[in-house]
Amino acid sequence: APQRANTVDAEGNPRPRSHLFTWGYSQLILLLIKLPADFVTKEKMADICKSHGFWPGYLFLCLELDRRIEAFTNIAHLDDLSLLNGEDGAVPETIEEWKFLLHLAQNHSTAFHHDGPQNGSAVSNGSSSCPDCVTVENVALLLAKAIGPNRALPLLQECGLTLELSERFTGVCEILRIAEKRQRCDRFLWSQQA
């Protein structure tokens, strides 16, 4: 197992990317965590995972225990966008969760810039330098993909985050709009043939 100092910072938060450390028997540990157990046992397992910095298990248990806000907070600290999508990802389910995640990304990016680069690379809010980091733009792109660009933009404006978005975001949104129109046209044409 990695040293605790490598996985947990002084405040007890995950260190960026520390979920990627190799743990001996990690697959077995995850299988054990996923076994049915009562609520109290799951909470104890979550506490153990957190105290030792076993973030894959901790995030799984947060989601299982319906501690979604806690999961999103830790994902922002881990700074890995892949934890928010994909098969085991914690995809926000409500507008409130999206807003929370956007504000986390904003605060995380700001703190990250003030603390300086970590692991030898600076992270900008534009996602081109770090396509899998938790930045406002990357979360905004996930939002646009999830609910559509026409619904995402007003939400981003409501959160006061539109100034933090690049031309890349605008371009991706245009592509998403075209894809949505194409999909609607295809559905219409297929419905006419039926």
Domain count, the chain: 2
Determine how many CB atoms are found less than 10 A away from the CB of residue 14. Answer: 23
DSSP letter, residue 178 = H
**Dist CA 130 CA 154 (whole Å):** 25
Q: What is the gyration radius of the CA atoms in the chain, in angstroms?
A: 19
Residues 3, 46 within the same domain: yes
**Dist CA 147 CA 7 (whole Å):** 34
86: in domain: no
Residues 101, 53 within the same domain: no
Convert the pLDDT of each residue in 130-182 to its tens digit. 788 999 999 999 999 999 898 998 999 999 988 778 888 888 888 888 888 88
Global pTM reads 0.81
pLDDT band at 192 (very low <50, low <70, confident <90, very high): confident
Q: Which residue has the higher pLDDT, 191 or 93?
A: 93
Q: Which domain holds residue 50?
A: 1-80
Reduced to 3 states (helix: H, G, I; strand: E, B; else coil), residue 8 is: strand
Residues 59, 134 within the same domain: no
85: in domain: no
Residues 60, 143 within the same domain: no
Among 40, 57, 80, give the residue marking a domain's end: 80
Question: For residues 148 and 176, is the Cβ–Cβ distance under 8 A?
Answer: yes
Residues 39, 119 within the same domain: no
Read off the tokens for 86. Answer: 């994909």
pLDDT at 110: 67
Determine how many CB atoms are found less than 10 A away from the CB of residue 96. Answer: 10
Q: What percent of the chain has pLDDT over 90?
A: 59
Residues 53, 138 within the same domain: no
pLDDT at 115: 46
**Dist CA 17 CA 189 (whole Å):** 46
Question: For residues 194 and 186, is the Cβ–Cβ distance under 8 A?
Answer: no
Convert the pLDDT of each residue in 57-80 to its tens digit. 999 999 999 999 999 999 999 999
Residues 48, 109 within the same domain: no
Q: Which residue has the higher pLDDT, 128 or 8?
A: 8
Convert the pLDDT of each residue in 5-56 to its tens digit. 999 998 989 999 999 999 999 999 999 999 999 999 999 999 999 999 999 9
Residues 146, 194 within the same domain: yes
